[in-house]
Amino acid sequence: MRGITNLSSGMMGFAIARAARDAGAQVTLVAGPVHLPTPRGVVRVDVRSAQQMYDAVLPVAARHDVFVATAAVADWRPARLSDEKIKKNGNRVAPSFELTENPDILAAVAKLPDRPFCVGFAAESHDLLKHAREKLARKNVPLVVGNLGPATFGRDDNALVLVDADGHRELPQADKLTLARQLVAEIAARLASLSA
Ligand code: C5P
């Protein structure tokens, strides 16, 4: 075994960074190990682990008006790393791994006293609306964007459902940049109504 991972490509996050820049925002993009070009004018910080992402996001989050958590962060990591290759032991007994929980970046940002407007993502395989509503409450954020993970990972298009305390709104199937622009416009409208 060489690794355990998921199939998230980072495309939605990069599309949102680009859409936000086009809308006039100054954007910091904290990116995991993905092979995507940095949108021009966007400050990119590359990280490899959930802990590194937490360490990169937390000190700067309050300096931003909006935090959009698109990364498919692993909930668990191996409790111990081996410096050496774990060899087959000849008796065909699979090694077992102890896992430990990663910090929840979105929940931590949402707890900051001067927190930005926080937008969470919910990539689900089923019962999207139900899980998105649960996430809204559990993470204590004003907006959660749901999508059906397996249908969109690595693809150019997506369909979103925006869930807030009042209800939900569907953004039908479109390419990710189109959806990102719609999402950014929606966030901008909410920020405007908050400051009105
Ligand atoms: O249910 P789950 O914790 O996976 O919620 C997904 C949302 O939380 C996404 O917005 C994801 O970016 C964020 N998340 C996070 N840190 C984690 C796990 C998820 O910020 N360790």
74 CA distance to ligand 1 middle (Å): 8
Q: What is the pLDDT of residues 128-166, one digit of tens each?
A: 899 999 999 999 999 999 987 666 666 788 899 999 999
Is residue 6 annotated as part of the catalytic site, yes or no? yes
What per-residue confidence (pLDDT) applies to 9? 85
Residue 6 within a domain: no
CATH number of residue 106's parent domain: 3.40.50.10300
- Checking if the pLDDT of 1 tops 70, the result is no
Given the residues 6, 102, 147, 158, the one annotated as active site: 6
Residue 174 lies in a domain: yes
Category of 57 on φ-ψ map: left (φ > 0), alpha (ψ -120 to 50) or beta: alpha
Evaluate if residue 68 carries a pLDDT over 80.
Answer: yes
Centroid of ligand 1 to alpha carbon of 105 (angstroms): 7
Give the CA distances from residue 21 to residues 16, 18, 90, 138, in Å, rounded to whole numbers and listed in that order: 8, 5, 55, 30
Ligand 1 mutation pick, 52, 57, 104, max ligand atoms within 8 A of CB? 104
Q: Is residue 127 part of a domain?
A: yes
Across the chain, what does the average pLDDT equal? Answer: 92
- The reply to whether 89 falls in a domain is no
Give residues (CB < 6 A) around ligand 1. 50, 69, 71, 73, 75, 102, 104-106, 120-122, 135
- Per-residue pLDDT averaged across 37-54, rounded? 96
The closest-lying atom of ligand 1 relative to the alpha carbon of residue 109 is 20
The confidence score (pLDDT) of residue 73 equals 93
Mean pLDDT, range 68-91, rounded to an integer: 87
Provide, rounded to the nearest whole percent, the portion of the chain with pLDDT above 90.
73
Q: Which two tokens stand for residue 3?
A: 């690794």
Q: Is residue 5 part of a domain?
A: no
Q: Which domain holds residue 159?
A: 11-78+95-195
Say if 177 falls within a structural domain.
Answer: yes
Atom 16 of ligand 1 has which residue's CA nearest to it?
104
Q: Helix, strand, coil: what percent of the chain each, to 5?
A: 35, 25, 40
- The answer to whether residue 90 sits within a structural domain is no
In Å, how far from its chain's centre is CA 26? 19
- What's the number of domains the chain is made of? 1
pLDDT at 155: 72
The pLDDT value given to residue 153 = 65
Take atom 2 of ligand 1 and give the residue whose Cα is closest.
122
Taking the C-alpha atoms of residue 60 and residue 53, their distance in angstroms, rounded to an integer, is 11
Task: Compute, in angstroms, the gap from residue 125 CA to the centroid of ligand 1.
Answer: 15
pLDDT at residue 101 tops 90? yes
